[in-house]
Amino acid sequence: MPKVIGLTGGIATGKSTVAELLEIHGFKIVDADTASRQAVEKGSPGLNQVKEKFGDEAIDEDGNMNRAYVGDIVFNQPEKRLELNEIVHPIVREIMEREKQQYLDAGQDVIMDIPLLFENDLQNTVDEVWLVYTSESIQIDRLMERNDLSMEDAKARVYSQMSIDKKRRMADHVIDNRDSKLELKQNLERLLVEQGYLQSSEEDNESV
């Protein structure tokens, strides 16, 4: 029977890299970030609702959502962020549910790639949760390098999310990404072997 796996992590933990590797191994990926963009794409009912709530300036000259304008509003006004979530979240859930069901109907295992899975209390919507883990100090270092941020700004982004160590205690399986990309790949493949999704290299050698 196909399984639904929730893949999550924290900012700069390497979740996107793990999703790409899982896709190579044949898993079907349902991406929350992609669904969020589709929910307010040009000409969509979702974008029309955003315009009604946030005004004409919420739409740029090309007819897309003015993300800088809307982002500035919701960042500074929590009640406006709730209003935006009330528009976007139901549409995102509908898009993801439809995509997930198509894969399940075809007998395929599905990865639900959800960055804020624990923050939004969605762990009960999946069969199990896989967490991409690294330490907070590594998260901060990677963010500073990747986004050219000061240490203060990097810390603010990391600390705005649930602690990665708390998430680790809540997850069913942990994929360690504190070292190199090669070691991340090996750690993931070890989990896939343990869960029966991948044959171990030892078994391959025995069958030759």
Binding residues for ATP: 12-17
Q: Helix (H, G, I), strand (E, B), or coil: what is residue 116?
A: coil
Instruction: Compute φ and ψ for 42, nearest 5 degrees.
Output: -50, 130
Closest alpha carbon to 6 in 91, 108, 100:
100
Tokens 């209003």 map to which residue? Answer: 83
Binding positions are 12-17
Task: Kindly state the helix (H) or strand (E) to which residue 5 belongs, with its residue range.
Answer: strand 4-8
Instruction: Compute φ and ψ for 32, nearest 5 degrees.
Output: -65, -35
Q: Are 200 and 193 in contact (CB under 8 A)?
A: yes
- Number of neighbouring beta carbons within 10 Å of residue 18: 24
